[in-house]
Amino acid sequence: MPVRSMSEALPETRALLAWYDDGRRDLPWRRTRDHYAVWVSEIMLQQTRVATVIPYYLAFLERFPTVLDLAAAEEDEILALWSGLGYYRRARQMLAAARQVATQGGVFPETSDDLRGLPGIGPYTAAAIASICSGEVIPVLDGNVERVLARRLAMDQDVKRATPRRRLQAEAAALLLPDRPGDSNQALMELGATVCTPRSPDCSRCPLEDGCLGRFDPDRYPSPKKKRKPVAVTRAVAVARNCGGDVLLFRRPDEDRLMAGLWELPQVDITRPNTPAGDVAHSLAEHYGGSWQVEPEVCQVRHGITHRSLTLCIHPARLQDRGLLAARSRSARDPCWVDWKTEKDRYATSSMVEKVLAAVDKIDS
């Protein structure tokens, strides 16, 4: 592809980049061209909002400023820093990728082809990093860009299918300015994130409005995906404390599909809220071992996780006999008493733990 100057670029590209230069958000990962730092941001931003990612990103790079620092880390420490960010498989893949880089000389890959050889890096992530940091002339297609271009082309097809995707790829390449590929890609992503939003897009602010075939009915494009209906799950959660007020946590087995290796409050699935305390105690003993004294349900907490809608029924509890723990179930791994006020940053937990304990503290206060 011949390199065009700004004056030779398509009018739409000039308008897009002028718009981006004038009003782009000041995000921390846009202040660097370091492959490692941009990679961290791209992985964290997968399925996660920008506002949520920023503090995690800053804390992560402060603790692991280079890929070799990350490669030398323990998984538990990485998961603890990741706590609350969700989709924990991303963190494990980052550790695996960092260790692979360390074994290959410690230099982070720079081309999209080489980047795709690392765990957790697919075509979009590789293209984004290579275009931003190395100036590789390669377009990106993330969810925001797909939406912008599907509306521009009035494409009401499934953008994940091969033929429509090739059309989107060609359109993204046509809008790319080869001497500013990273900015071109980020401009399209920024446009989708801030103007050409999934609902109620502000077409009057769009630099590509004149050539957009879908501007008169933007909500029609792209063809909406059928949302998977979440499965309703009711679960009893035991908040067990010792005489010092420490809370009991267990660590999920590494082989679990969801939240593997994270620390959790003891919990069991039940058929309905307000299940008798004795039944909950029996289920906890079967699942975790030990002997449990469980009080009646004190409150409920709603929580969503990966196509599940959880109703969490909270029961104060005491663990009367620890002797059988870890002998009854693979889930009863590494039971630990934790001072939640002073030690929680040392343990990788899901946001569900924080939500449940906050609800209990509200009742107790």
- Please identify which of the residues 42, 136, 264, 297 carries the catalytic annotation: 42
Say if residues 238 and 267 touch (Cβ distance below 8 Å).
yes
Residue 145 has which token pair?
A: 């860009």
Rounded to whole angstroms, how far apart are CA atoms 195 and 145?
12
**23 Cβ contact list (under 8 Å, min separation 6):** none
DSSP letter for each residue of 31-72: G---HHHHHHHHHHHTTS-HHHHHHHHHHHHHH--SHHHHHT
Question: Which residue in this structure is represented by tokens 């620092």?
Answer: 69
Rounded to whole angstroms, how far apart are CA atoms 21 and 358?
43
SS3 30: helix
Residue 136 has which token pair?
A: 């590789």
User: How many CA atoms, within 13 angstroms, populate the side-chain half-sphere of residue 11?
Assistant: 4
| Helical segments of the chain, H only | 11-23, 35-45, 50-63, 67-71, 75-82, 89-103, 112-115, 123-134, 143-152, 162-174, 181-194, 277-288, 340-343, 351-364
State how far Cα 319 lies from the chain centre. Answer: 34
Rounded to whole angstroms, how far apart are CA atoms 62 and 59?
5
Say if residues 156 and 219 touch (Cβ distance below 8 Å).
no
Query: 318 has which bridge partners?
Result: 293
Residue 38 has which token pair?
A: 């941009």
Task: Give yes or no: 146 in active site.
Answer: no
Query: 336 has which bridge partners?
Result: 249
Amino acid at site 194: T
Rounded to whole angstroms, how far apart are CA atoms 276 and 147?
49
- Catalytic residues, by residue number, are 42
